[in-house]
Amino acid sequence: MTDLTDLTLAEARAGLETKSFTARELTQAHLDAMGEARALNAYVLETPEKALAMADASDARLAKGEGGPLEGLPIGVKDLFCTEGVRSTACSKILGEFAPRYESTVTANLWRAGAVMLGKINCDEFAMGSSNETSAFGPVVSPWRRDGSDAKLVPGGSSGGSAAAVSARIALAATATDTGGSIRQPAAFTGTVGIKPTYGRCSRWGIVAFASSLDQAGPIAKTVEDAAMMLQAMSGPDAKDTTCADIPVPDYRAAVSRGVKGLKIGIPKEYRVDGMPAEIESLWQQGQDWLKAAGAEMVEISLPHTKYALPAYYIVAPAEASSNLARYDGVRYGLRVPGRDIVDMYEKTRAEGFGREVKRRVMIGTYVLSAGYYDAYYLRAQKIRTLIKRDFEEAYSAGVDAILTPATPSAAFGIGEKGSGDPVEMYLNDIFTVTVNMAGLPGISVPAGFDAQGLPLGLQLIGRAFDEETLFATGRVIEEAAGRVTYPQPWWS
């Protein structure tokens, strides 16, 4: 029998159906691998008892010939999702031992589909970061290393733990969230598939809020098909989130094999940025060639406001974060540091509970929303957001079905290598992904090749609103052409 942790989600589901193994065996194999992989720091809380109980319940359903689409499949949950009775911290000290009395809609949907929870996964604090280095639980180490080097690399962020866990095979798939690239960038860094669906596709209820007009949940998985299975289960209308769309979820898994014949793929000239490594440029060209060979047509398009997306994001996201994070005041949950009066208590609690990056963003957000600066910063940024969205609308109304771009400006970098002096250096990681959040569109990152040092690189596809299906179909063509990724051997165990 092959190692159960090497299976894809789809293969594992088929194996359970044919009774080649049980959900308990599948879950135990992952729990054992997790125990060997603690050096990666991908999990911040392992829940083996819960996992085995859920697996046993799945086995009972499967024995009766029942079971949902994800029945018995063990997955990891980013610690940004509230899980009932299980510590949920957003990887911040300020939430302490917070154990929600409720379950997020997305995770509830997954459990209803039969999935098994292995534990809670590390991420950047409040999802603010691009390298998983801002977590209060310490950085996640990527399972990937450069050829001939044992330097520790970042798995990307903020969903770095999710990407590391999937590529280290200590979860069949994982939940993640994406505010500016936090699903797609770590997926690109680890040879995994990550999709941020259209804003409103997944309910945000029960997910710790960062920037409410940008946050979306999505999966990180080993293949495009696995990502489709995960997103299918995660999505859907929810009365508890007024921004969650009342639109039925299409059959994503069926869309995977649809092909790209006759599709028009836009190639935005503004994504050819100065100083882009030749490897990224040629990967992008390779992607175009693959899609052309599969019957798609490439069209050059222009998205003129692209360069303003990242600076506008660094006004909108911190502004919304400063409002959302006002709730962490030492009164209702988590950490409290006593003070001489209530304001002193608030200030000490927040100084002690928030990490450096979070404080920085809350302060920037406070500044751009403060009296006298609102129009110059926040209002202007929201106007620019309208222009960014208009760029995409014009491309789509001219007949483009999806847009192909690089996912990241480089492969993964070393832990401690970026952003220590200038925060903007780290922010530039999201240059290709952030436009998609600003416009509320769906975007997928698919592994497409490797750099000269053997590190994975990804391509991004951007779709029309609520058309994730085209992204799955197109992503699958790239995945097939690039060949299945071989994940690193466990040097960490």
Partner 1 sequence: MSVDTDTVRRIARLARIAVTEDDVPHLQGELNAILAFVEQLSEVNVEGVEPMTSVTPMRIKTREDGVTDGDKAADIVANAPATEDDFFMVPKVVE
| Beta-ladder partners of 458 | 447
Q: Does 151 interact with partner 1 (rule: CB under 8 A)?
A: no
Positions 458 through 477 that interact with partner 1 (CB under 8 A): 465
Q: Is 411 in the site for partner 1 (CB under 8 A)?
A: no
419 vs 458, which CB is nearer to partner 1? Answer: 419
* Residue 88 is among the residues annotated as catalytic for this protein: no
Tokens coding 416 = 């401690």
| Interaction residues for partner 1, span 12-71 (CB under 8 A) | none
Instruction: Single out the segment in contact with partner 1 by CB under 8 A; choices: 29-37, 59-67, 276-284, 380-388.
Output: 380-388
State which H helix or E strand residue 31 sits in: helix 23-36
Q: Is there binding between residue 442 and partner 1 (CB under 8 A)?
A: no
Active site residue: 142, 182, 235, 410, which one?
Answer: 182
Instruction: Decide whether 200 or 268 has the Cβ nearer to partner 1.
Output: 200
383 annotated active-site: no
Which residues within the stretch 261-300 sit at the binding site for partner 1 (CB under 8 A)? Answer: none
How do the residues of the chain divide into helix, strand and coil, expressed in percent and rounded to 5?
Answer: 40, 15, 45
Stretch that binds partner 1, among 123-131, 241-249, 250-258, 262-270 (CB under 8 A): 241-249
488 lies in the site for partner 1, by CB under 8 A: no
Measured distance CA(428)–CA(23) in Å, rounded: 42
C-alpha atoms less than 13 angstroms from C-alpha of 218 in its C-beta half-sphere: 37
Q: Which is nearer to partner 1, 152 or 360 (CB)?
A: 360
Does residue 422 touch partner 1 according to CB under 8 A? yes
Residue 220 pairs in a beta bridge with: 174, 194
Residues 89-108, interacting with partner 1 (CB under 8 A):
98-102
How far apart CA 362 and CA 187 sit, in angstroms, is: 27
Which residue is catalytic, options 131, 158, 235, 410? 158
366 near partner 1, judged by CB under 8 A: yes
Q: How far is the CB of 451 from partner 1 (least distance, A)?
A: 27
Say whether 78 is catalytic: yes
**Footprint of partner 1 on 315-334 (CB under 8 A):** 315, 322, 326, 329-334
* Single residue of 26, 154, 245, 267 touching partner 1 by CB under 8 A: 245
Q: Does residue 63 contact residue 106 with C-beta atoms inside 8 Å?
A: no
Contacting residue, 21, 259, 286, 367, with partner 1 by CB under 8 A: 367
Q: DSSP strand E in 278-434: where? A: 297-301, 402-406
> Hey, what are 239's tokens?
């009365």
Based on the shown chain and the rule CB under 8 A, indicate whether residue 250 belongs to the binding site for partner 1. no
d(CA 273, CA 269): 9
By CB under 8 A, residue 307 contacts partner 1: yes
**Cross-strand pairs, 294:** none
Nearest to 44 by CA among 144, 123, 159: 123
Q: For residue 174, report the phi and psi dihedrals to the nearest 5 degrees.
A: -150, 155
Are the C-beta atoms of residues 392 and 400 closer than 8 Å to each other? no
CB of 235 to partner 1, least distance (A): 14
Residue count (the chain): 493
Which of these segments, 24-32, 40-48, 148-156, 369-377, binds partner 1 (CB under 8 A)? Answer: 369-377
How many CB atoms are closer than 10 A to CB 63?
11
Q: Does 336 bind partner 1 (CB under 8 A)?
A: yes
Q: Per residue, what are the HEC states of 318-360?
A: HHHHHHHHHHCCCCCCCCCCCCCCHHHHHHHHHHHHCCHHHHH
Nearer to partner 1, 197 or 456 (CB): 197
- The DSSP code for 377 is I
Considering only 440, 443, 447, 475, the residue that binds partner 1 (CB under 8 A) is 440
| 44 versus 477: smaller Cβ distance to partner 1 | 44
Give min distance, CB of 446 to partner 1, in A.
Answer: 24
* Among 73-81, 138-146, 167-175, 338-346, the segment contacting partner 1 (CB under 8 A): 338-346
345: contact with partner 1 by CB under 8 A: yes
From CA 21, how far away is CA 299, in angstroms rounded? 48
Give residues 201-220 in contact with partner 1 (rule: CB under 8 A).
213
At residue 118, φ and ψ (nearest 5 deg) are -85, -30
Choose which of 14, 39, 342, 452 interacts with partner 1 (CB under 8 A): 342
Candidates 93, 152, 258, 348; binder of partner 1 (CB under 8 A) is 348
Please tell me what DSSP assigns to residue 469. Answer: H
Our CB check for partner 1 shows the closer of 362 and 448 to be 362
- Binding-site size, partner 1 (CB under 8 A): 73
What is the sign of the dihedral through the CA atoms of 472, 487, 89 and 337? negative
- Residue 73's φ and ψ, nearest 5 degrees, are -95, 115
Closer Cβ to partner 1, 318 or 447, answer by number: 318
Residues 61, 67: contact at Cβ < 8 Å?
yes
CB 442 within 8 A of CB 182: no
User: Measured between alpha carbons, how far is 127 from 194 in angstroms, rounded to an integer?
Assistant: 16
Comparison of 238 and 279: residue with beta carbon closer to partner 1:
238
Contact between 302 and partner 1 per CB under 8 A:
no
Residue 305 binds partner 1 (CB under 8 A):
yes
200 binding partner 1? (CB under 8 A):
yes
Catalytic sites, residue numbers: 78, 158, 182
